[in-house]
Chain A
Amino acid sequence: KQEVTQIPAALSVPEGENLVLNCSFTDSAIYNLQWFRQDPGKGLTSLLLIQSSQREQTSGRLNASLDKSSGRSTLYIAASQPGDSATYLCATAAGYSTLTFGKGTMLLVSP
């Protein structure tokens, strides 16, 4: 059964720093890996989706990489801003598109 782990559980950085969030998964037989953002009291917003055949995806200041063989993904956030403060969740999809989530990394970017 797939297990997804995210490290660190929480991260606090000053504005402007570049940062990396880590995600690892135990079963490499995945269709894709997605990174989501969750703001307090809100739903999840999809940030990036990496297909199993891809190695990375970029959107603005965000870059996500995928190494299926080692069961790892990273989310790189460049020049962090206070508005980036949220919980970041990674999730893998296999089979019937259902997602297995990690517990998230709570990010706080201070001005």
Chain B
Amino acid sequence: DTAVSQTPKYLVTQMGNDKSIKCEQNLGHDTMYWYKQDSKKFLKIMFSYNNKELIINETVPNRFSPKSPDKAHLNLHINSLELGDSAVYFCASSQDLWGGNTIYFGEGSWLTVV
């Protein structure tokens, strides 16, 4: 039973399109995240949500809009896709907001913009 699941796993789309990636966690965690892993394999935080509220937005372009309908879901919508958005996007969750908790990652969504 997958703890953090995200869909789709692979997504190829044209520049200018709008796309969404969905994420769900069944761990009962309060906090969810989106991380981006670029072509150099460097993982970086994008957003952090706690109980459906945005806590951290790490200077991500406003073409990226996370939405949390409930604390088990955190979806990522991307408008007007650009070539530079090609990356692997990881959803993650932890028990709560503060340090000290193990963070659980989904298997990633490979986005390719052509």
Chain A positions near chain B (C-beta within 8 angstroms): 30-32, 34, 36, 41-46, 49, 51-52, 87, 89, 91, 93-101, 103-104
Contact = CB atoms under 8 A, between A and B. Distances in A.
B99 A31 contact: yes
Contacts of A100: 45
Contact of B100 (A31, A41, A46, A101): A31
Interface of B: 4, 31, 33, 35, 40-45, 48, 55-56, 58, 90, 94, 96-108
Give chain A's interface secondary structure class: strand
Contact of A99 (B45, B96, B106): B45
Contact of B56 (A52, A87, A96): A96
A34 B108 CA distance: 19
Given A96-B48, A99-B45, A44 B97 contact: no
A103 B103 contact: no
Contacts of B105: 36, 43-46
Contacts of B90: 43-44
Contacts, number: 70
Contacts of A44: 43, 90, 105
8 contacts: A34-B103, A44-B105, A96-B55, A96-B98, A97-B97, A98-B58, A99-B45, A100-B45
Given A46-B103, A51-B100, A101 B56 contact: no
Contacts of A34: 102-103
Given A32-B99, A93-B99, A96-B98, A101 B104 contact: no
